[in-house]
Amino acid sequence: MKTFKTNIFVVLFFGTISLFSQKTEMVLKVSEYLQSNGTIKQYKDAYLELLNLMEKQFPKSDKNSDGWLYLQQNETKALTNINELLVPIYIKHFNEEDIDKMQSFYLGDTGQQLVQDRNKLTDAQLKEVDTFFSSKIGSKIKTKQQVLSEEIAMVSEYWSKDLYQTAVLLLKEE
């Protein structure tokens, strides 16, 4: 009987570790996808835009220099935070194979050009974009676009509101 309990423990333990590592791998894949498709760059730009806005409202001074230092050094943490908010949304709607296909497209020349400047896509690249979005995964993306947009908008609003409130608290001179 003791051997049976030991075997159950071993199976449950390694099963849990396997499940956790699969989930961790999926988190990494989605994070890489969010980098390659330009999502994280958009949030980085938003963070920099917030700093520009804050500088107009709260010019740098001796009184708020610590707050400015914190905000300038906090960019990576803020981007990690939005990534952690977005990843579960993608995991909820896409499986690993979907993410792999999406990532493969965005790592290619056409996907990179689409992210950098869609107006400079060649005719061949435009055809490749059409082919991708006409594929099974492209259709799935289109089908989920409304709900994805709503969920992403909610976390984006939370993220930006939190950043703004933090910035105001740090920079406000009293």
Quick: pLDDT tens for 41-74.
999 999 999 999 999 999 999 999 999 999 999 9
CA distances from 146 to 17, 75, 152 (A): 34, 29, 10
Residue 147 CB neighbour total at 10 angstroms: 12
Residue 3 CB neighbour total at 10 angstroms: 7
Q: What is the pLDDT of residue 10?
A: 44
Q: What is the pLDDT of residue 24?
A: 84
Give 83-135 pLDDT, tens digit per residue.
Answer: 999 999 999 999 999 999 999 999 999 999 999 999 999 999 999 999 999 99
Domain that holds residue 16: 2-171
- How many Å apart are CA 114 and CA 124, to the nearest integer? 12
Q: What is the pLDDT of residue 23?
A: 72
Categorise residue 38: left if φ over 0, alpha if ψ from -120 to 50, beta otherwise: left
Structural domain total, the chain? 1
Q: Which regions of 66-170 does DSSP assign to beta strands (E)?
A: none
Confidence band, pLDDT 50/70/90 cuts, at residue 3:
low
The pair of structure tokens assigned to 112 is 């990179």
- As a whole-number percent, the residues of the chain with pLDDT over 70 amount to 87
Nearest to 105 by CA among 83, 141, 129: 129
